[in-house]
Amino acid sequence: MTSGDVAHASWAFPVAGALVGGAGALTYTVAAAIGIPPPLAAGLALSATLFTTGCLHEDGLADMADGFGGGRDRARKLEIMRDSRLGTYGACALMMSLLLRWTALAAMVSPVAVASALIATHVTSRAVLPGFMHFVPPARFDGLSAQAGQPSLRSAVIAVVLGALALAAGLGLAAAMVGLVVAICTGLMVAWLAMRQIGGQTGDVLGALEQIIEIVILLTAVAMSGTQA
């Protein structure tokens, strides 16, 4: 794969998300069918998504939290984000990400609701990434994000449309509208923070953005459905 190939294919990020969400949805459905209680089924579904992605985005979230939280200046923040060791900020961010996602899934009342939410969430959390990469410049010139290239506006629009369709199909029109607004606002917030902290985005920032949008979409799904455990 050459430099820029990822950017050219970025419109398909939501398709990859559908596969990841589908793995979690299938796991939950099978677990529920054999009588496993919802909280345990939710944990298994979450584990399936982690296994499918190799914890790629969780790693980005932890690195960004460590860098933004522990670095004194831009150079030190970027240095920490390249360090594979896990710090306190990263550990806490990972813990909260897993806890919030598991709690949201466990709060849903039916396998259909969980499966729909998982697929919609993973599609949407990746649908925002091409637009983010298009508008937010790389923070360094030798990182994975810089090598990936800048997605075209066309790719960004296609990805957002796919995300919106997935939200509407999985959560319903009202929840989809709220979820899409929340996802876009989340992207803008993370873009502002990344520019302020390190002057742009990196692969870790993209991973963290995916995680944060997963969380806010799942919480939106629970809030809009009114299905509290």
Give the pLDDT score at 210: 97
Q: How do the residues of the chain divide into helix, strand and coil, expressed in percent and rounded to 5? A: 80, 0, 20
Give the pLDDT score at 150: 86
Give the pLDDT score at 228: 38
3-state SS, residue 138: strand
Question: Model-level pTM?
Answer: 0.92
For the chain, how many structural domains are there in total?
Answer: 1
Give the pLDDT score at 22: 97
Cβ atoms of 129 and 210 within 8 Å: the answer is yes
Can you tell me the distance from the alpha carbon of 47 to that of 61, in angstroms, rounded to the nearest whole number?
A: 17
Q: Is residue 229 part of a domain?
A: no
Q: Is residue 108 part of a domain?
A: yes
Give the pLDDT score at 140: 80
Q: Is residue 93 part of a domain?
A: yes
Give the pLDDT score at 4: 66
Give the pLDDT score at 8: 82
Q: Is residue 104 part of a domain?
A: yes
Can you tell me the distance from the alpha carbon of 168 to that of 163, in angstroms, rounded to the nearest whole number?
A: 9
Pick from 59, 56, 63: nearest CA to 122: 56
Residue 180 in tokens: 């899409």
Its domain, for residue 89, covers 5-224
Give the pLDDT score at 143: 66
Give the pLDDT score at 147: 73
The tens-digit pLDDT sequence of the chain (229 residues) is 455 678 788 899 999 999 999 999 999 999 999 999 999 999 999 999 999 999 999 999 999 999 999 888 999 999 999 988 999 999 999 999 999 999 999 999 899 999 999 999 999 999 999 999 999 999 887 766 667 788 999 999 999 999 999 999 999 999 899 998 999 999 999 999 999 999 999 999 999 999 999 999 999 999 987 543 3
Give the pLDDT score at 64: 96
Q: Is residue 220 part of a domain?
A: yes
Give the pLDDT score at 77: 94
